[in-house]
Amino acid sequence: MLMNRRQFLSISGAATLVAVCSPNALAVSSSPDPKSIASDAFKAMRNLAQQKSRLLGYPINMTTPPDEFFAWRKELAAAGINRFSFNNVGNPYDHSNIPFNCHSFEKDLINRFGEVYGFPLSNIWGFLSNSGTDSNMHGLYMGRTILKSDTGVVPKIYFTNEAHYSIQILRDLLQLDWVVVGTNPDGSMDADDLERQLNANPDYPALVVATIGTTFKGAIDPVDDIQKKLKGRTAYLHLDAALFGGYLPHTSYADEILHESTVSSSGVKQKRYDSIAVSCHKFFGFPSPAGLFITTRTNFEAFRNQFSQIHNPEYIKQVPGTITCSRDAVKPAEFYFFSTPSAFKRHAIDAAAMLKNTAYLLKEMSNHYSYLHPVRANDRSNTIYFITPGKAIVDHYSLATMQLEIDGKLTPCAHAVVMPHATKKMLDQFLSDLRNRIT
Ligand SMILES: Cc1ncc(COP(=O)(O)O)c(C=O)c1O
């Protein structure tokens, strides 16, 4: 029997929807007025603000930026930014036909970070994206496009099971055939297995994703060993350095993340990777999601040659090089604050404290809770994973959990990501909670 409209609305709850969406909605709806809804939302958020310093299970820096950042915001507002519509559509390195943008901030900050990652200033291109995932998307799209244009063949993508889940989504989006590369015991990519897999797929160019700081274990894929295996092949190497990419340049391990290495005998510099993705809300503590996407001008131009055949530049008078058209102008202007020499000094202080606190947490957990099997994959990592200590701790510290194989058995595990807000005092509290509240 067919339902009539009234019956349909009554079972689907659509009556409420229609009421809310109709022009008379506010007059006829029995829902509370918007002000009271907002006050509840504000109350909930104020509670969250109190809890923020105990987040330990995800790589987000919950430290409130320094007062100077909020003063910087005011300066930006005085210039009209975030007061009326600005839009960073297009390539920040090109002239824009639409003047209401913050391209100069965006280009400057990309150049500054580009130099931190060891790109020569004359050969940097990039932009501020929406997130690490967005930067990964641009890296993979650029790699796919360049490799296909060089060979006429769509590449296969190579990554490990420890790569972030965004890579699986993106390989689906880009319709790429994929090859899962095996890992070493610490969770890093096994370069010998990569070689085996490359040899098994000789007719395809290789789009390789190396992760510098895998999401759960904090492993680092061996970029130089990977490059050795790629030698003589048509390949593009994208670095997903969403978290570690923020702090490694400010530590004694900066070499891990440098775009170029010096070959000692000849003194010639060699490229280590093609593009890099870093999240801004992770290590840097930028208050909303954003990402750095940085590559070489050379790659960008090779990409643009192809992109210009897909995209008709007439309307905006340039080939943007970004997948998204309209782009946020406020974030680059704000994130610029995190790219100044004094910001880099702060990053160095935060990075040192974070690694010291991670070492402390590992030592204390190993001494007092060895039965939880705490593991730090390497001394560049701010992540420790261990057997899940029980729901109370997991909930209280918002710990991410995953099943890992321990002694041949799938075991529920959690990890602690020691971000700059995770001070020794906070970690001591965590350690004492472990003692008192393991269930
Ligand atoms: C290795 C890695 N890549 C990418 C991402 C995704 O970054 P975003 O949240 O900025 O999209 C994450 C997030 O945790 C990550 O750990």
Instruction: Please report, as a single letter, which amino acid is at residue 24.
Output: N
Q: What is the 281 CA–ligand 1 centroid distance (Å)?
A: 10
User: For residue 296, is pLDDT > 60?
Assistant: yes
130 lines ligand 1 (CB under 6 A): no
Predicted pLDDT of residue 30: 58
Q: Which atom of ligand 1 is nearest to the CA of 133?
A: 11
Q: What is the 132 CA–ligand 1 centroid distance (Å)?
A: 5
Q: Which of 224, 166, 165, 162 lies closest to 188, judged by CA?
A: 162
Predicted pLDDT of residue 32: 63
Q: What is the 188 CA–ligand 1 centroid distance (Å)?
A: 16
User: For residue 262, is pLDDT > 80?
Assistant: no
Q: 71-341: which CATH architecture? A: 3-Layer(aba) Sandwich (3.40)
Residue 389: Cβ within 10 Å count? 22
SS3 183: strand
Q: What is the mean pLDDT of the segment spanning 246-273?
A: 90
Q: What is the mean pLDDT of the segment spanning 346-365?
A: 98
Predicted pLDDT of residue 91: 95
218 lines ligand 1 (CB under 6 A): no
Q: Is 439 exposed, middle or buried (0-12, 13-18, 19+ CB in 10 A)?
A: exposed
Predicted pLDDT of residue 308: 87
Predicted pLDDT of residue 407: 86
132 lines ligand 1 (CB under 6 A): yes
Q: What is the 133 CA–ligand 1 centroid distance (Å)?
A: 6
242 lines ligand 1 (CB under 6 A): yes
User: How would residue 284 be classed by pLDDT, with cut points 50, 70 and 90?
Assistant: very high
User: How would residue 2 be classed by pLDDT, with cut points 50, 70 and 90?
Assistant: very low
User: How would residue 46 be classed by pLDDT, with cut points 50, 70 and 90?
Assistant: confident
User: How would residue 50 be classed by pLDDT, with cut points 50, 70 and 90?
Assistant: confident
318 lines ligand 1 (CB under 6 A): no
User: For residue 388, is pLDDT > 90?
Assistant: yes
User: How would residue 289 be classed by pLDDT, with cut points 50, 70 and 90?
Assistant: very high
Name the β-bridge partners of 189.
183
Q: Whose CA is nearest to atom 8 of ligand 1?
A: 132
Lowest average pLDDT, out of 37-51, 112-126, 180-194, goes to: 37-51
Return d(Cα 258, Cα 305) in angstroms, integer: 27
Q: Which atom of ligand 1 is nearest to the CA of 215?
A: 16
Two tokens at 232? 């003589």
Q: Which long-range contacts (CB under 8 A, 24 or more apart) does 25-32 make?
A: none
Domain ranges of the chain: 55-64+343-437, 71-341
Predicted pLDDT of residue 92: 96
Q: Are 429 and 362 in contact (CB under 8 A)?
A: no
CA 393, distance to chain mean position in Å, is: 26
Q: What is the 170 CA–ligand 1 centroid distance (Å)?
A: 13
Q: Whose CA is nearest to atom 16 of ligand 1?
A: 215
291 lines ligand 1 (CB under 6 A): yes
88 lines ligand 1 (CB under 6 A): no
Q: What angle do CA 221, 404, 170 make, to 5 degrees?
A: 50
Who has greater pLDDT, 429 or 319? Answer: 429
Q: Are 140 and 171 in contact (CB under 8 A)?
A: yes
User: For residue 263, is pLDDT > 90?
Assistant: no
Per cent of the chain over pLDDT 70 is 91
Find the helix packing angle between 5-12 and 14-21, rounded to 10°. 90
Predicted pLDDT of residue 16: 37
User: For residue 187, is pLDDT > 90?
Assistant: yes
Return d(Cα 363, Cα 354) in angstroms, integer: 14
User: How would residue 106 be classed by pLDDT, with cut points 50, 70 and 90?
Assistant: very high
Predicted pLDDT of residue 247: 98
User: For residue 275, is pLDDT > 50?
Assistant: yes
Lowest average pLDDT, out of 23-32, 311-320, 354-363, 408-417, goes to: 23-32
The pTM of this model reads 0.91
Predicted pLDDT of residue 5: 43
User: For residue 323, is pLDDT > 70?
Assistant: yes
Two tokens at 136? 């990964």
Q: What is the mean pLDDT of the segment spanning 242-254?
A: 97
Q: What is the mean pLDDT of the segment spanning 335-351?
A: 97
Mean pLDDT of the chain: 91
Q: What is the mean pLDDT of the segment spanning 232-257?
A: 97
Q: What is the mean pLDDT of the segment spanning 412-419?
A: 97
Predicted pLDDT of residue 406: 87
SS3 358: helix
Q: What is the mean pLDDT of the segment spanning 13-40?
A: 52
Indicate the CATH number for domain 55-64+343-437.
3.90.1150.10
Q: What is the mean pLDDT of the segment spanning 191-218?
A: 98
Q: What is the mean pLDDT of the segment spanning 213-224?
A: 98
Q: Which of 83, 87, 124 lies closest to 325, judged by CA?
A: 87
